[in-house]
Structure 1
Amino acid sequence: MPRELINANPVVHGKKERRVRNDSPNIDEYAEESIDQQEIFDHIRDIKDPEHPYSLEELNVVSEDSIEVNDKLNHVRVTFTPTVEHCSMATIIGLCIRVKLMRSLPSRYKIDIRLAPGSHATEAAVNKQLNDKERVAAALENPNLAEVVAECLAPTFA
């Protein structure tokens, strides 16, 4: 039974040209190096939207400007904007961003995922879910949610 899309005709934006970095270190190689906005954006830009065949960058759900990094305090905040204010996928999108960053960044970083203020009808509730360790762990133990997250994080070769 096909499900009905929340936003059947999203606005699709172009992708920014990727900037070349000197190297692409893994977690162990940059455990003590500083991380910047661009690096965080590079990690999350290609996450696939759970409803559409587009990336979060193409749907303008995430942008480099929506990322804050405080390297001295080991803190990263990503603010994302769903395509519609009643998006039922907002929690899954935030969960995908969190999981991708948990897998990509050194464990010293505290990751804060937020909806852009005023961008969602249940903003406070979604923000609370996305930043509660127990709720995130429980969500990732759910096989159906874990499968959706895996699909959104699967690499693309476009």
Structure 2
Amino acid sequence: MSDFINENPNVLDEAQLPTRNQDNDNDHYDVFQFQQSQHDNNGLCSLMASKRLSYILQDAQNDNTSSSILEDIDSMSQLIHLQSDFKNQRQASMDLDISMEDETEERQKIDPQEIYDLIAHISDPEHPMSLGQLSIVKLEDIKISDETDSPETRMKDLVIQITPTITHCSLATLIGLGIRVRLDRALHPKYRPTIILKPGTHQSENQVNKQLNDKERVAAACENEQLLNVIRKMLSTCK
């Protein structure tokens, strides 16, 4: 397997592999930190308003002398304003909580780049390089889609196309199995990975695809201790 005859024969350096834009991540983190700070400040203001209301009520209960009408009106006015401020601050805090929940959900979404990061550093079982370096896995060949007909479960279909280094690669099934084991261990069960060979890149394309996506065959393969040892070695270089 020393010859490379598929689409991208060039071996990539680790520094050339696609990565996420770190500047965008830092900006995203700063926004999250700012929102968290605002949430803490609103909570403190609400607590102070609640304490002030408690003090006024306590003073009113301990006051056994007759108050003037003006003092009563002033006290009631303070109570009304405090209650109004507390209500507004509580609503603002609730709105911010909802916004932060949406932000957290957005941050937890998995995109093709994250999938690529999970599998690109898997070692090739024959060459002393990673699947990303050999262009066996490519960012543009990873697709994630929602299943629209079952919104209650929100299952997500994950399709990964792999490109063997040569069209008669005898280890294509092993490579696909290593990718599947890696994803099964790293992803939530709602993600359903489908691993297939890129069309036209292997002479036994249909047979390999069937093996990689047959649950019974995959389960049987994962019970083979010798095969698992090879997969463990492949996954040992993952970051």
TM over 0.5, yes or no?
yes
Match of 1:67 in 2: 142
| 3-state SS of paired residue (1:66) | strand
1:156 and 1:68 mapped to 2: Cα distance? Answer: 21
Bigger fraction of residues in helix: 2
1:139–1:62 CA distance, 2 compared to 1 (3 A) = same
TM-score by length of 2: 0.56
1:39 and 1:137 mapped to 2: Cα distance? Answer: 25
| 3-state SS of paired residue (1:99) | helix
Deviation of 1:9 after TM superposition, in Å, equals 5.0
1:17 and 1:107 mapped to 2: Cα distance? Answer: 26
Match of 1:115 in 2: 197
* Alignment of 1:8 onto 2:2: yes
Match of 1:34 in 2: 109
The answer to whether the 8 A contact 1:95-1:136 is kept is yes
> Which structure is larger by alpha-carbon Rg, 1 or 2?
2
* Alignment of 1:18 onto 2:93: no
The answer to whether the 8 A contact 1:80-1:114 is kept is yes
1:102–1:118 CA distance, 2 compared to 1 (3 A) = same
Percent of counterpart pairs with the same letter? 45
Deviation of 1:13 after TM superposition, in Å, equals 1.9
AA at the equivalent of 1:16: L
AA at the equivalent of 1:133: K
| 3-state SS of paired residue (1:63) | strand
The 5 A counterparts of 1:38-117 are 38-72=113-147, 73-117=155-199
Which aligned runs of 4 or more in structure 1 are off by greater than 3 angstroms? 20-23
Deviation of 1:91 after TM superposition, in Å, equals 0.2
AA at the equivalent of 1:48: S
* Alignment of 1:151 onto 2:233: yes
1:85–1:105 CA distance, 2 compared to 1 (3 A) = same
AA at the equivalent of 1:49: D
The answer to whether the 8 A contact 2:159-2:194 is kept is yes
2:176 and 2:194 mapped to 1: Cα distance? Answer: 10
The answer to whether the 8 A contact 1:34-1:71 is kept is no
Unmatched segments (≥5 aa) in structure 1: 1-6, 24-28
Unmatched segments (≥5 aa) in structure 2: 5-9, 30-103, 148-154
Deviations 1:30-73 (A, max 9, x none): 7x932111011010010000001100010010110010011454
**Number of corresponding residues:** 145
TM-score by length of 1: 0.83
